[in-house]
Amino acid sequence: MEFFLQQFTNGLTVGAIYALIALGYTMVYGVMKLINFAHGELFTLGAFIGYALLVTFGITGRVGLGLGLAISVVLVAGLVGVAGHVLERVAYRPLRHSDRLAAVVSALGASIFLQNAIMLSWGANYRSYSADLLPSVSVSIFGQSFPLLKILIFLTAVVVMLALWLFVHRTRIGMAIRAAAIDQGAAKLMGIDVSSVIAVVFVIGPALGGIAGLIVGLCYGQINFGMGQLYGLKAFTAAIIGGIGNIQGAMVGGLLLGLVEALGAAYISVAWKDALTFVVLIMILVVRPTGLLPERVAEKL
């Protein structure tokens, strides 16, 4: 039982990070029917901007731990959001009325461009968030000790996801996003500015991915320019498992994927962990081709 609980929390932490990244894939897909392959690189960018703030600039040493972290989160989200917006303007908007394949190629190109741009600006070496950046505190639950950081990561992810859900379902912009997701043409006729809806989606999705990058930096300490590939792939899988285009689906898919990985490693085999992940993906797609929580046309996003 102790072993199970330990592995369960291991899985939830990893899953929460996957879920945060998966939200970016799923939101963009919901509105534009486009897989933003550069999303993994925006996640990497978040990790590196966090590195610049926390390590190079040493913000926590200047303004205190709590405030420093808060500023970092806001700045990372803001800057990566801006990067996402620029990406949309440069790589996707000119292709909005062309073939869908063209947009996919453009997305792949943007991914390669961003990855190499990050390598050239920060170098090819691994960079590290210093281990003593955050105090290491453990809390005791059910007689088990868990690192506070992991619990905070999980809670942060849940809060961010709830806020996003409220934003999409309880605000006017959110309503516009949902409308554009259902039918862009009809939304336009109803007087919704679809271009700005897409712009908003391309700010929020990358901002969440950037925050995930910052979290990975803080939690594992090691970042490099290629880190977005594996995380991007896993998060993309999570989005598909949950039903791409569906926000709740991305959360469920991410957490499920994290749990499958941790428990698979624990009870079956560490080496087969990734194979297992994709076996689960295939099984879910065989039974439910649209994912666990498929996008229902009336309530898409």
Partner 1 sequence: MRFNLAAAAALFLTLGLVLLGAQGSPAQDAAAQAPPIKIGLMGPITGPWASEGQDMEKVVNLMAEEINRNDGVNGAKVVIHSADDGGAPKTATLAAQQLIAENVVGVVGTYGSSVTEATQYIYDEAGIIQVATGSTSVRLTEKGLTRFFRTCPRDDEQGKILAQNVKGLGFKKAAIVHDNTSYAKGLADEADALFKTSGVETVSFEAITPGDRDFTATLTKLKTQNPDVIVFTGYYPEAALILRQKKEMAWDIAMIGGDATNNVALVESAGPAAAEGYYFVSPPGPSDIKGEQAAKLLDAYQKKHDVLPSSVWAILAGDAFGVLVEAVKNTGPDPAKMADFLHKDLTGYVGLTGPISFNEKGDRIGEVYRLYQVDAKGDFILK
Residue 14 in contact with partner 1, rule: CB under 8 A: yes
End-to-end CA distance of the chain: 37
Token reading at 293: 């929580």
Residue (13 or 184) nearer to partner 1, CB: 13
Q: State the minimum distance, in angstroms, from the CB of residue 70 to partner 1.
A: 23
- Site size toward partner 1, by CB under 8 A: 42
Strands 127-128 and 138-141: unpaired
Residue 131 in contact with partner 1, rule: CB under 8 A: yes
> x/- contact string, 142-171, with partner 1 (CB under 8 A)?
---x-x------------------------
Residue (116 or 171) nearer to partner 1, CB: 116
Residue (82 or 233) nearer to partner 1, CB: 233
In this chain, which of 100, 222, 278, 285 binds partner 1, going by CB under 8 A?
222
Q: State the minimum distance, in angstroms, from the CB of residue 269 to partner 1.
A: 8
Q: State the minimum distance, in angstroms, from the CB of residue 115 to partner 1.
A: 9
Residue 130 in contact with partner 1, rule: CB under 8 A: yes
Centre a 10 Å sphere on the Cβ of residue 125 and count the other Cβ atoms it contains: 9
In this chain, which of 121, 171, 196, 269 binds partner 1, going by CB under 8 A?
269
Contacts of 111 (CB under 8 A, 6+ apart): 37, 38, 40, 41
Q: State the minimum distance, in angstroms, from the CB of residue 131 to partner 1.
A: 3
Q: State the minimum distance, in angstroms, from the CB of residue 20 to partner 1.
A: 14
Q: State the minimum distance, in angstroms, from the CB of residue 265 to partner 1.
A: 4
Residue (57 or 220) nearer to partner 1, CB: 220
Buried b (16+ CB within 10 A) or exposed e, 247-260: bbbbbbbbbbbbbb
Whether the CA torsion 119, 124, 129, 130 is positive or negative: it is negative
CA distance 173 to 130: 40
Q: What angle do CA 183, 98, 204 make, to 5 degrees?
A: 55
In this chain, which of 56, 116, 171, 195 binds partner 1, going by CB under 8 A?
116
Token reading at 160: 């961010």
User: Alpha helices of the chain — where are they, by DSSP H?
Assistant: 2-32, 39-51, 59-63, 65-87, 100-122, 148-170, 172-182, 184-189, 194-220, 227-242, 247-267, 273-287
Residue (121 or 195) nearer to partner 1, CB: 121
Residue 124 in contact with partner 1, rule: CB under 8 A: yes
Query: Which of 30, 83, 23, 20 is CA-nearest to residue 198?
Result: 30
Cα dihedral: 80, 81, 85, 91 (round 10): 40
Q: How far is CA 92 from the centre of its chain?
A: 20
Residue 226 in contact with partner 1, rule: CB under 8 A: yes
Q: State the minimum distance, in angstroms, from the CB of residue 267 to partner 1.
A: 9
Residue 220 in contact with partner 1, rule: CB under 8 A: yes
Residues that bind partner 1 (CB under 8 A): 3, 6-7, 10-11, 13-14, 116, 119, 123-126, 128, 130-132, 136, 138, 145, 147, 216, 219-222, 224-227, 229-231, 261-262, 265-266, 269-271, 273-274
